[in-house]
Amino acid sequence: MTTPREIKVYRDLMGANAEWAAKTRALLAERSIAMVNVISAPGSGKTTLLERMIPALAGRLRFAVLEGDLETTRDAERLDALDIPVYQLLTGGSCHLEAKLVHHALLDLPLDDLEVVIVENVGNLVCPAEFDIGEAGKLAILSVTEGEDKPVKYPLLFHEAVAAVITKIDLLPYVPFKLEECRRYLAQTNPAAPVFEVSSLTGAGMDAWLTWFTAFVAAHR
């Protein structure tokens, strides 16, 4: 007789994430809701962009926001002032949001009253791009206070993004950001994705961005 031996089984953690992402897509499709995953480096202006665009679209779209951060509720508090449903998702140190956490947060939202859910992911250009959370699309945000070569240094996000938004363009006269070079890198990484240049402070470029965003949501509800 042979002595029984313990066999360790390692399951695919990304596979488990994909299962939760699929559940989320089914849930959102059933309710005719588009979910957008907003990803960028810290400090690119994601929250400020939302503060500008959500009131501008308030008469056309019904929003909720899931706010991802390692700690604190600071950004959620800012968006709560817009009088929309906002939940803070704290990762406790993890560099990205996972599909399971997003799914359970969605279940607490008033889904019957919503048309679009924006997930503001943890500030990071690497990990969030690797995790599908059941979104209709990823939005890549890049500010002019960063390097113009970010699209080629962190290509996965920009390759997968349905659109790229270059923020803080009001600072272009004061920073050594090469806008046309950045556009070339974006086209090299993802020639199909539209690129928008905006200033959340002055409103420059917002009309074109909001027109595209509204059409994207309509097409993915």
Is residue 153 exposed (0-12), middle (13-18) or buried (19+ Cβ within 10 Å)? exposed
Q: Would you say residue 27 has pLDDT above 80?
A: yes
What DSSP character marks residue 2?
Answer: P
Name the band, by pLDDT with cuts 50, 70 and 90, for residue 7.
Answer: low
Q: Would you say residue 198 has pLDDT above 60?
A: yes
Mean pLDDT on 10-23: 77
The answer to whether 38 and 66 are in contact (CB under 8 A) is no
CA 47 to chain centre: 11
Q: How far is CA 203 from CA 92, 198, 200, 207, 209, in A?
A: 34, 7, 5, 8, 10
pLDDT tens digits for 107-152? 999 999 999 999 999 999 999 999 999 999 999 999 999 999 999 9
Q: How far is CA 86 from CA 67, 120, 128, 155, 189, in A?
A: 7, 11, 20, 30, 33
pTM tops 0.85: yes
pLDDT tens digits for 49-86? 999 999 999 989 999 999 998 898 999 999 999 999 99
Name the band, by pLDDT with cuts 50, 70 and 90, for residue 96.
Answer: confident
CATH architecture of 13-219: 3-Layer(aba) Sandwich (3.40)
Full strand arrangement of the beta sheet holding 34-40:
86-90, 63-69, 116-120, 34-40, 137-143, 163-167, 195-197
Residue 79 backbone phi and psi in degrees, to 5? -75, -25
Is residue 113 exposed (0-12), middle (13-18) or buried (19+ Cβ within 10 Å)? exposed
